């Protein structure tokens, strides 16, 4: 097992780690007498394993499995969870454990951070996207119809437990979507990650445990290093949003149903690299390297029937917009980006036209 420290949180990564989660939680939070497990119906099998581990160590454990899907990441679902917490008698010393993908860890983190002003939070991400990104860094949130993650908090978990073995049961589209975030890390901070992916693409597709563990560790290390310098996104942490300004707009415009988050990020990176090329920030080679890796990973770089007006409207509500002006993270080269770049709406619209052609 490999460990990374992040602002008091312990990021633990290892194949087979799921069976040790109950023991690790009781070790890190010895005062807890109760635990509340949030999961979705796709991940209930993993949550039940964690529940058994907690109960074997004497914790009274309540499990709530919500329907799966981004549509659940909303205030009405949070209210339902609050009601269940109240009926279960969950108090400040109780452990809150979220077992699932990015929807569950974001939603669970938001609820844990606001129930009684904060419960000890433990995350068990079960998707590639969550293990490399969503569950790391302390961002929590829910969506509104107007945009993604508009209501949220910064709240660090006590620990995040990443077991790459659970990724083997992911549907192909879910696994492939997570690779969008992996490519993002190569583009923003670790240029060597891109040829590593290219050399090991067969092992990635076959979901070899050793290769996945290395990918999760490298991506988690990058995020931990960035977040430790800028926990609340005052500067450097903005680089983690590469591809997300357009990507979040795509998700909102598609009603959080049309695009998987990783697919939207891939399309967002393509559009934002095109913007960088047009502004003279990045050479054509940078766009070509990124495009090749996205395609190699099975991710989209073009889409049809894009509701461009809706995407632009959603982007104007994005948290990265300042005083109504669109600001972007744009690549300069593989492994290096520039953040806070103001881009004209006309240029954004032109990039959207390109990726929807």
Q: Which of 322, 324, 352, 356 is nearest to 339 (CA)?
A: 322
Kindly provide the residue ranges of all beta strands, DSSP E only, lying in the chain, ordered along the sequence: 2-6, 9-13, 34-40, 60-66, 95-100, 121-125, 139-144, 147-154, 159-162, 327-333, 336-342
- Angle, nearest 10°, between helix axes 172-188 and 284-296? 160
Tell me, yes or no, if 73 is annotated catalytic: no
Tell me, yes or no, if 260 is annotated catalytic: no
Tell me, yes or no, if 181 is annotated catalytic: yes
Report helix, strand or coil for 73: coil
Tell me, yes or no, if 309 is annotated catalytic: no
Partners of residue 161 on adjacent β-strands: 12
The catalytically annotated residue of 73, 184, 223, 260 is 223
The catalytically annotated residue of 139, 148, 158, 189 is 139
The catalytically annotated residue of 237, 260, 272, 327 is 237
The catalytically annotated residue of 24, 148, 184, 261 is 261
Tell me, yes or no, if 214 is annotated catalytic: no
Tell me, yes or no, if 241 is annotated catalytic: yes
Tell me, yes or no, if 34 is annotated catalytic: no
Tell me, yes or no, if 208 is annotated catalytic: no
Tell me, yes or no, if 319 is annotated catalytic: no
CB-neighbour burial class of residue 316 (10 A; exposed 0-12, middle 13-18, buried 19+): middle
The catalytically annotated residue of 181, 213, 251, 263 is 181
CB-neighbour burial class of residue 215 (10 A; exposed 0-12, middle 13-18, buried 19+): buried
The catalytically annotated residue of 60, 231, 233, 313 is 233
Tell me, yes or no, if 149 is annotated catalytic: no
Partners of residue 162 on adjacent β-strands: 13
The catalytically annotated residue of 42, 149, 241, 291 is 241
C-alpha–C-alpha distance, residues 137 and 154, integer Å = 8
CA distances in angstroms from 130 to 101, 105, 308, 314, 328, listed in the order given: 5, 8, 28, 23, 23
Catalytic residues: 117, 139, 181, 223, 233, 237, 241, 244, 248, 261
């Amino acid at each position: 097992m490999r460990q990374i420290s992040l602002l008091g949180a312990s990021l633990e990564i290892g194949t087979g780690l799921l069976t040790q989660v109950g023991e690790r939680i009781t070790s890190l939070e010895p005062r807890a007498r109760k635990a509340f497990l949030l999961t979705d119906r796709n991940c209930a099998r993993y949550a039940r394993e964690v529940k058994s581990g907690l109960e074997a160590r004497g914790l009274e454990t309540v499990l709530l499995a919500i329907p799966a899907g981004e549509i659940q990441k909303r205030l009405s679902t949070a209210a339902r969870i609050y009601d269940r917490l109240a009926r279960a008698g969950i108090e400040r010393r109780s452990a809150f454990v979220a077992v699932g993908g990015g929807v569950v860890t974001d939603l669970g983190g938001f609820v844990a951070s606001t129930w009684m002003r904060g419960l000890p939070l433990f995350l068990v991400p079960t998707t590639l996207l969550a293990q490399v990104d969503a569950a790391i860094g302390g961002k929590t949130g829910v969506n509104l119809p107007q945009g993604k993650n508009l209501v949220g908090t910064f709240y660090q978990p006590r620990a995040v437990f990443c077991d790459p073995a659970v990724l083997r049961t992911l549907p192909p589209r879910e696994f492939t979507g997570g690779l969008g975030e992996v490519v993002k890390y190569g583009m923003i901070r670790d240029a060597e990650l891109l040829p590593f992916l290219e050399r090991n693409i067969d092992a990635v597709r076959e979901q070899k445990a050793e290769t996945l563990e290395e990918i999760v560790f490298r991506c988690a290390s990058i995020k931990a290093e960035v977040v430790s310098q800028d926990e609340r996104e005052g500067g450097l942490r903005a680089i983690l949003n590469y591809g997300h300004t357009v990507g979040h707009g795509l998700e909102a415009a598609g009603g959080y149903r049309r695009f998987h988050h990783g697919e939207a990020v891939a399309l967002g990176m393509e559009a934002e690299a095109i913007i960088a090329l047009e502004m003279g920030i990045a050479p054509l080679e940078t766009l070509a390297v990124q495009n090749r890796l996205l395609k190699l990973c099975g991710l989209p770089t073009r889409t049809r029937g894009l509701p461009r007006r809706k995407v632009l409207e959603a982007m104007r509500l994005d948290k990265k917009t300042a005083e109504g002006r669109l600001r972007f993270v744009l690549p300069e080269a593989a492994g290096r980006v520039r953040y806070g770049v103001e881009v004209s709406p006309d240029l954004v619209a032109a990039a959207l036209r390109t990726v929807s052609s």
